[in-house]
Amino acid sequence: MIRKIVQIDEARCDGCGQCIPSCAEGAIALVNGKARLSADVLCDGLGACLGECPQGAITVIEREAADFDEAAVKAHLARAPAHEPAPPPLAAVSPPARPRLSIVSDPAPSAGGGCPGSRPRTLTPRPGPQRLAAGMASAQSRLGQWPVQLHLVPVTASYFQGADLLVAADCVPFAYAGFHDELLAGRAIVVGCPKLDDNDFYAEKLTAILTQSDVRSVTVARMEVPCCGGIAMAARHAVAASGKSIPLRDVVVGVDGKLR
């Protein structure tokens, strides 16, 4: 059938990848340094990616193409590694350059061993808020657990049971003044940086947490920069792979500290 669909001019594309996080269907991948449409059935033709290309390499055209297939999109997001960029659907995925990290339930540390910084603990934030002055953020931490790094949290930690989970990019607490009171309060948290770390691991770890715990909701807090979209992709992948109906909210913070 003739329908609207995205077209990418590879001659103009410089491979920056800024278009990739804007496509909720994961229809665009970076292949050999160029953005490409992974499959016609994954593109809805609405052009959410148009304004994300600084080179103007993306347009929406009308041509012969297979129908947009929501079932194919769901299957693609569930099986594709949730890193930026996503590979084409059904393509063989090359092994990662470094060994994959196994996901295991952390045993209770013995009294005489283990790293104190990674021992799971439930904290009890003081009731509040206690404010320094009108209009200022609370002086009280809202952190209710330890550890918080996604690499360190045990997937079966008690603080995930029945929790609302906050998946935060590393930079968000520094950029957003209301982080503790507005985003962290009352939530369990895991943090990471998809730019500097293995986002495939993030997707697998989050999937394990959601599968083995009765998390009630997931809130992603990320920066507006394109590379930060990977942590939202990892969370979406994990919710889909868990097979559960878990509400997912995406909060974007600007580098100026304002919510987008």
Do residues 190 and 206 lie in contact, with contact meaning Cβ atoms separated by under 8 Å?
yes
Question: In the structure, what pLDDT confidence band is assigned to residue 175 with cuts at 50, 70 and 90?
Answer: very high
pLDDT reported for residue 20: 82
Question: In the structure, what pLDDT confidence band is assigned to residue 127 with cuts at 50, 70 and 90?
Answer: low
Question: In the structure, what pLDDT confidence band is assigned to residue 248 with cuts at 50, 70 and 90?
Answer: very high
* Higher-pLDDT residue of 79, 70: 70
Going by C-alpha positions, the residue among 205, 221, 258 that lies closest to residue 82 is: 205
Of these ranges, 104-108, 126-130, 192-196, the one predicted with the greatest mean pLDDT is: 192-196
pLDDT reported for residue 116: 55
Q: What domains appear along the chain, each with residue ranges and CATH number?
A: 2-79 (3.30.70.20), 119-125+138-253 (3.40.50)
Read off the tokens for 165.
């989970």
pLDDT reported for residue 110: 40
- DSSP string computed for 150-176: TTTS-TT-GGGTTPEEEEEETTHHHH-
Q: Is 94 exposed, middle or buried (0-12, 13-18, 19+ CB in 10 A)?
A: exposed
* pLDDT tens sequence across 111-124: 334 555 556 777 66
pLDDT reported for residue 26: 86
pLDDT reported for residue 212: 94
Q: What is the pTM of this model?
A: 0.56
H helices present in 36-113, as ranges:
70-79
Do residues 198 and 251 lie in contact, with contact meaning Cβ atoms separated by under 8 Å?
no
pLDDT reported for residue 260: 86
